[in-house]
Amino acid sequence: MVITFLFCLFLGRFFYIQVIWKEKLHYLALDQWTREIPVHAGRGNIYDANGELLAGNEEAYTVYARANAVGDAEGSATLLSGILSVPREELSEKLSDKSKSEIVLLRKTGKETVEELARQNVRGVYYARDDVRVYPYGEAACQVIGFTSYDGSGTTGIEGYYDSFLAGENGEILYETDLVGVDLEGASAAYLPAKDGLSVKLTIDFRIQSLAEQVMGKALSASSAKAARAIVLDPSDFSVLAMVNLPSYDLNDIPRDDMSRLNALSRNSLVTDIYEPGSTFKIVTSAANIEEGLRGNPSALPLNHVFSSSRTRSVGGTTIKCWSDHKNGKHSNQTLAEALNNSCNPCFVDIALALGKETFYEYLEAFQFGRATGIDFSGESIGMLLPESIVRDHDLARIGFGQTIAVSPLQLACAVASAVNGGYYYAPRLVAEIFSEDGSVRERTERKLLRRTVSEETSRILSSMLEGVVRDGSGKKAYIEGYRVAGKTGTAQKYENGRIAQGKYVSSFVGYFPANEPKYLALIIVDEPQGSYYGSTVAAPCAGEIFQGIIDLMKLPKSEG
């Protein structure tokens, strides 16, 4: 019985070693009898829409050692210290540690260093290509492009989101060694080639990106603001042409030693952060009312509706006021077009309450509020939208003019683009193509329609009104003679701990051109400007300057008629 038990025990152990443990033992043996030199894959490049290099690679090497194969640790440390410019004591400690099969002596060193290392032929020391990621324009679009970690893998931005394409696959060279890791004389090497990563072509146009950064940089400085942001997109397909987040940082000099600062500077706030949009949201409210009117909904206020001259509305125990008395201190009757020109809150309270919660929320859902836009970027915020079931009249009234709702700048830009482009809501995109360096396209991001929001007739009517805002109303500082610019200003108070923060505002403007066939849309946000804080005086001029710059860059002709 005992003999049978022992036989079964030995048989079981034999089976475990030969079958179950086989792969691990094979790996341990291979590791013990071979020396692997990594062959790093070249990381794919990142280009703008016109082929301008935004992220590339610079030749560099990493130096390794096998302590067991180093004959004289102290002597090797002394020699290597002069070559690698690393303290001798540090190298001596590493080369004396026999517990590790492979040790990194120096990362990301230049070609001259490894050439000298090759001449010295230090026993047990070798090197492998390990390029450095470089960004030719430093701070340009830094939050969009993102950066890589020390080991070269994508961490943030496009570098992180598309890392599986950019990274490629590393290879290696295997040399046979003896038990302590010394190369066997006459042994052959096995070579597993690396597969370089694919390159990415963005929708970002570096010319527009650079222009927008210059304009917003001046606005940030002139207003002593906390931050200045801008997004420029093409309303015909929602491709993002520029994203500006200031202040920014240099991708070639990442402040990794201060993680709090790095997180703040590297965050693409246009995608990840939210804010109360204020009066720019009145575009959405107007679109919903016009569309319902065209559909014959009796609750919608007709286009020729004249809003009461009263400058206040009382809703649910709260009083909502107009920001200003018009025309010599008297608040006059207004049409919808005039209400947009004057940015009169009570008029949009009337619209929201007339449409009712159910209908208004159908449009909020159609315009993607409370959900992601679907952009190819990590960390997108879905905003903050009260559940329909708990919304009361005073909540609905405030949503109508852009309060009691928080959106990401990207959400608002896309919603406005859809409201004025004929009612087409596309998935916004930052990447146009993924391709290999031989030019063959592996993936192409096509325009993707997510839903219809309003009719083309609604867009036409709304655009006509918003063109009037720029021509005659609060958006005058975005006006460009001979070009049909349309848009809407916004000035929103900020909240801290549930209360209005005195003296803190978000100034904004969203505009586009040509009004009859939108091709360029810009959302401008200046956070906490000092002195003048109205969107009409702080943000609208930035849009006008960006649009004028685009006109000059693209040599766009004046509008006809």
Residues 225-270 have pLDDT tens digits of 999 999 999 999 999 999 999 999 999 999 999 999 999 999 999 9
* CA atoms of 84 and 104, how far apart (whole Å): 12
pLDDT one-digit tens code per residue, 150-203: 888 999 999 999 999 999 888 876 655 544 444 545 555 566 788 999 999 999
The string over 533-543, giving b where at least 16 C-beta atoms fall within 10 Å of a residue's C-beta and e elsewhere, is bbbbbbbbbbb
Helix/strand/coil for 496: strand
Predicted confidence at residue 256, as pLDDT, reads: 92
Nearest to 533 by CA among 513, 507, 494, 511: 507
Nearest to 539 by CA among 479, 501, 484, 491: 491
The dihedral formed by the CA atoms of 261, 266, 269 and 272, expressed in degrees to the nearest 10: -100
* CA atoms of 274 and 429, how far apart (whole Å): 19
Nearest to 52 by CA among 212, 156, 205: 205
The string over 165-200, giving b where at least 16 C-beta atoms fall within 10 Å of a residue's C-beta and e elsewhere, is bbbbebebbbbebeeebbbeeeeeeeeeebebbbbb
- Written as one string, the DSSP assignment of 295-332 is TT-TTSPPTT--B-S-SEEEETTEEEE-SS--TTT---
pLDDT exceeds 60 at position 45: yes
CA neighbours within 13 Å on the CB side: how many for 29? 6
pLDDT exceeds 60 at position 420: yes
Predicted confidence at residue 227, as pLDDT, reads: 98
Cα Rg of the chain (Å, integer): 31
- In CATH, the architecture of 35-179+187-202 is Alpha-Beta Complex (3.90)
- pTM summary value: 0.88
* CA atoms of 153 and 560, how far apart (whole Å): 51
- If residue 414 lies in a helix (H) or strand (E), which one and from where to where? helix 409-420
Least confident residue range of 106-110, 481-485, 497-501:
497-501
pLDDT exceeds 90 at position 210: yes
- Written as one string, the DSSP assignment of 60-82 is -EEEEE-GGG-S-HHHHHHHHHH
* CA atoms of 239 and 37, how far apart (whole Å): 43
Domain extent listing, the chain = 35-179+187-202, 206-554
Nearest to 353 by CA among 302, 407, 389, 299: 299
Query: Beta strand pairing status for 318-321 and 312-315?
Result: antiparallel
Among the options 223, 269, 279, 536, which is catalytic? Answer: 279
Predicted confidence at residue 25, as pLDDT, reads: 44
- In CATH, the architecture of 206-554 is 3-Layer(aba) Sandwich (3.40)
35-179+187-202 shares its CATH topology with 206-554:
no
Helix/strand/coil for 428: coil
Instruction: Assess whether 279 carries a catalytic annotation.
Output: yes
* CB-CB contact of 204 with 141 (8 Å): yes
pLDDT one-digit tens code per residue, 63-91: 988 877 787 888 888 999 999 999 999 98
* CB-CB contact of 544 with 485 (8 Å): yes
pLDDT one-digit tens code per residue, 313-356: 999 888 998 876 544 445 678 999 999 999 999 999 999 999 99
Nearest to 526 by CA among 542, 548, 547: 542
* CB-CB contact of 369 with 391 (8 Å): no
Burial of 283 (0-12, 13-18, 19+ CB in 10 A): buried
The string over 62-82, giving b where at least 16 C-beta atoms fall within 10 Å of a residue's C-beta and e elsewhere, is bbbbbbbbbeebeebbebbbe
Predicted confidence at residue 405, as pLDDT, reads: 96
